[in-house]
A = this chain, B = another copy of it.
Amino acid sequence: MAGAELRVGVIGCGRWAGWAHLPGWTRDERCQVVAVCDRDEGLVQAAADRFGVADAFTDHRRVIERDDVDVIDVVTGDEEHFTLTMAALEAGKHVLCEKPVAHDYRDTLRARDLAASEGLGTKVGFTFRYSPAVRYMKELIDEGWVGTPYIYNAYEQNSQWIDPQTPLRQVPAGVDADRIRVSSLEGYGAPVIDLGHWFMDADLTSVVGVLRNFVPERMIRETGTMMRANIDDGDIFIGEFAGGAICSVQSSFVTVGNYPGIEVRVYGSEGALIARLVEEFGVMETLKGARPDAVEFVDLEVPARLFPPGGDVHEPWPSLYYSNLTANFVDEILAGGDKNEGNFSDAAWVQEVINAVEQSHFDRGWVGLPLPR
């Protein structure tokens, strides 16, 4: 691996790093993870051992300042994403960052602008863009399989917190208990908002939606008691794309179903495609299509080239999809051109849509996009 073309430093060694990020990087022969970092010494050492990484740090500065690192992968808790991202960009590194890059899309745009001015690539953890079924669906759409897209429908939902006893993190102090706070929409709506943008190849010009708190009282992890937690645990919005297409998007973590719980549909003038990313009986995903002259939906075979080496529909989706994600970022960096999908600009766009939906809930009406800056 001495001849690897890219050297990666991974900051954050929690569960998701171990399931998705590190398996992705280490599966790719073109890159080498040269350092891992986590505040928790036990976690970082375990990751280094498991994935064969030479250096393990508890101070992220030790990774970011290394001259031999080309890419920084930020997979820490949300609150550190933005600071670490800015530090890494300032140090001249390409950056992969888990979502959200920042809570305010204006900050994400600042990070994007910094990257652009330095000629650096950015990538956000939009895992589901890299599902083989979803990538094939995008290829088919681009080739005209559906004709002019009319409607996009998206669900991302699961039943992780359907049981009020499943513990939730404490509500921050000082929050207005009567005002519902965005939760599912940000965590689960974001990925399918991103897919809509990508598939439909158009910006949303207006949205209107509702947030709901279906399970009002929940077990709080820190205290072990039931408490009012006025968070959005289910939501639906509709939107209009520039050009005339429309969409509905639904997210929830109290709707029965397995992970990742994604279903995306595109109906167009020449066909319809439905990808379903729901692990059921050992199969991770399916893609179905129908055409005006063959209106009964049939399974479409996703080409093998869209799977990571050795992967198939039975491989657990975190590594299946993330291996595609990291490989795609490596492709883009090595190509050195303008191609850079699922980047910070996309992340800012998604965050702005989320903010607009939130505002539409409180204002009880359509909200135009882009938001006033």
Instruction: Enumerate chain A interface residues (CB-CB to B < 8 A).
Output: 104, 148, 150-151, 153, 157-159, 162-163, 206, 208-210, 212, 214-215, 234, 236-238, 240, 244, 246-248, 250, 252, 254-258, 267-269, 271-272, 278-281, 290-292, 295-297, 355, 358-359, 362-368, 371-373
Most B C-beta atoms less than 10 A away, residue of A208, A280, A363: A363
List 15 extra interface pairs beyond A151-B236, A254-B269, A280-B297, CB under 8 A.
A150-B234, A151-B252, A153-B250, A157-B267, A159-B295, A163-B292, A206-B363, A208-B366, A212-B244, A234-B246, A256-B267, A257-B297, A358-B372, A362-B368, A363-B366
Please state if B162 and A269 are interface contacts (CB–CB under 8 Å). Answer: yes
* Alpha-carbon distance between A151 and B255 when the two chains are bound, in angstroms: 8
Partner of A258, one of B162, B236, B295: B295
Complex Cα distance, B257 from A271, in Å, reads: 9
| Between-chain CB contacts (< 8 Å), 16 pairs | A150-B252, A151-B234, A151-B236, A158-B295, A208-B238, A208-B366, A210-B238, A210-B246, A237-B238, A248-B248, A256-B290, A257-B295, A258-B295, A280-B297, A359-B368, A359-B372
A359 and B362 CA atoms in complex are apart in Å by 14
Which residues from chain B contact A372 at a C-beta distance below 8 Å?
355, 358-359
How many chain copies does the complex carry?
4
A252 to B272, CA, bound (A): 13
Report Cα–Cα, A355/B359, bound state, in Å. Answer: 14
Interface centre among A238, A252, A267, A291 (most CB of B within 10 A): A267
Contacts of A272 in B (CB 8 A): 255-257
Residues of B within 8 A of A159 (CB): 292, 295
Q: Are A256 and B292 in contact (CB under 8 A)?
A: yes
Chain B hits for A278, CB < 8 A? 296-297
Chain B residues with CB below 8 A from A271, complex form: 256
- A136-B165 Cα distance, complex, nearest whole Å: 31
Instruction: Return A310 CB to nearest CB of chain B, in Å.
Output: 25
**A269 contacts which chain B residues (CB < 8 A)?**
162, 214-215, 254
Residues of B within 8 A of A252 (CB): 150-151, 267
What is the bound-complex CA distance between A240 and B363, given in angstroms? 13
Shortest 5 CB-CB contacts between residues of A and residues of B = A365-B365, A256-B272, A255-B267, A280-B296, A258-B295
For residue A240, which residues in chain B have a CB less than 8 angstroms away from its CB?
Answer: 210
- Bound Cα distance from A54 to B368, whole angstroms: 53
* Inter-chain contact B368/A255, CB cutoff 8 Å: no
Identify the closest chain B residue to A158 (Cβ).
B295
CA distance A255 to B274 in the complex (A): 12
Given contacts A236-B151, A237-B238, are A256 and B291 in contact (CB under 8 A)?
yes
Of B234, B246, B373, the residue contacting A212 (CB under 8 A) is B246
A220 vs B162: C-alpha distance when bound (angstroms): 51
Check B214–A244 contact: CB distance below 8 A. Answer: yes
The distance in angstroms between the C-alpha atoms of A359 and B364, with both chains bound, is 14
Say whether B296 contacts A150, CB under 8 Å: no
Which B residue sits closest to A273, measured CB to CB?
B256
Q: Is the CB of B256 within 8 A of A151?
A: no
